[in-house]
Amino acid sequence: MSPPPLLLPLLLLPPLLNVEPAGATLIRIPLRRVPPERRTLNQLRGWREPAKLPKSGAPSPGDKPALVPLSNYRDVQYFGEIGLGTPPQNLTVVFDTGSSNLWVPSRRCHFFSVPCWLHHRFDPKASSSFQPNGTKFAIQYGSGRVDGILSEDKLTIGGIKGASVVFGEALWEPSLVFTFAHFDGILGLGFPILAVEGVRPPLDVLVEQGLLDKPVFSFYFNRDPEKPDGGELVLGGSDPAHYIPPLTFMPVTVPAYWQIHMERVKVGSGLTLCARGCAAILDTGTSLITGPTEEIQALNAAIRGFPLLAGEYIILCSEIPKLPAVSFLLGGVWFNLTAQDYVIQTTRNGVSLCLSGFQALDVPPPAGPFWILGDVFLGTYVAVFDRGDRKSSARVGLARAHTSGADLGGETAQAQFPG
């Protein structure tokens, strides 16, 4: 879930995408699947002006991937576990490509900050490696904000230990959204320009301190209800077992988000959106796929969606087999989403409910307008993010996720339309 306007495209080196590096240590942690309830991630989306880009150069690439399993909440909330301090204090965080700061609830939080008392909290007194910083920070979300102070301590993530990171101790979380969240905090995987108070993002720190060889990572979101795990975040590369080759690479167009150029969007063979090309953001912190209001309204009408509250659309579950594919032209390749991919199906009190995975969000200039390809898209396609180095620019690689439904052949992964 991303805080302010955070989303950035990262690029990956071909060898990492196609071959697992020799001698690489892959650390896999079994994750749980959380029972469905209320969705919270979309409500946290807020936008702000990005901070100034730090002067330090881009990290150097290398090779050792580390794996962080992800928990899945109603196929729209994915999070995993990290450790902070010595000994490590375990907390769950959303790994968010739309932001660049790490923050968690603090043991020192305000008495009336309800979310603090309902989540795991970091206790600086219980860590022998804790270093106070004291700088105040605040992140504004669409439905509230997080306030606190910056601190420094050791980060443990996916088997990587000893990284000294500056992170936020949240002292005040006034939004009720955080109260019901199934995660404790957020770990941003965006570019440095998005970091509040100029803090070095965790990914940059891992590379700079020699704990991660390559500024590359990938996400695999498991949406198979028969499987117990929620997926994996792979740091330092990607796991070829997660996707069906080939990977399609696109350059990052704005090095402040994981932003790429989208050539077109088609709904079936009739409706064309983003007709002249548009910007798109790959954001693991956004649950749904969002776009400009006028286009999303037309899209939902084409898939027989009925307006609900808060900009959501409901779909008759019985209509799913009849609904058209929604396809995105990226890097010259059509990426299909079938109705099974873009309709969120859940059951409450024995009643089936089907919601559209498309929601309107108007992001004003200069940052917008743009579409956000959130977890509804990234649950179907594995994304590899590569920050690049001094010789190569950032880019993103996409390929169909390796699930039983995707093994039916290329027609599932791609659609072909005239002109």
Q: Is 283 a catalytic residue?
A: yes
For residue 412, what is the DSSP state? H
Q: Which of 75, 96, 184, 204 is catalytic?
A: 96
Max Cα–Cα distance, the chain, nearest Å: 64
| One-character DSSP codes across 180-211 | H-SSSEEEE-S-GGG-GGGPPPHHHHHHHTTS
Mapped onto helix, strand or coil, the DSSP state of residue 316 is coil
Q: Give backbone dihedrals phi and psi of 250, rounded to 5 degrees, phi first.
A: -135, 140
Q: Which of 153, 213, 283, 375 is catalytic?
A: 283
Mapped onto helix, strand or coil, the DSSP state of residue 245 is strand
How do strand 395-401 and strand 243-251 relate by DSSP bridges? Answer: antiparallel
Which structure tokens are listed for 156? 């443990």
Burial class of residue 370 (count of CB atoms within 10 Å of its CB; 0-12, 13-18, 19+): buried
270-295 as b/e: b if 16+ CB within 10 A:
ebebbeeebbbbbbbbbbbbbbbeeb
Q: Is 75 a catalytic residue?
A: no
Report the Cα 298 to chain-centroid distance in Å: 26
Residues marked as catalytic: 96, 283
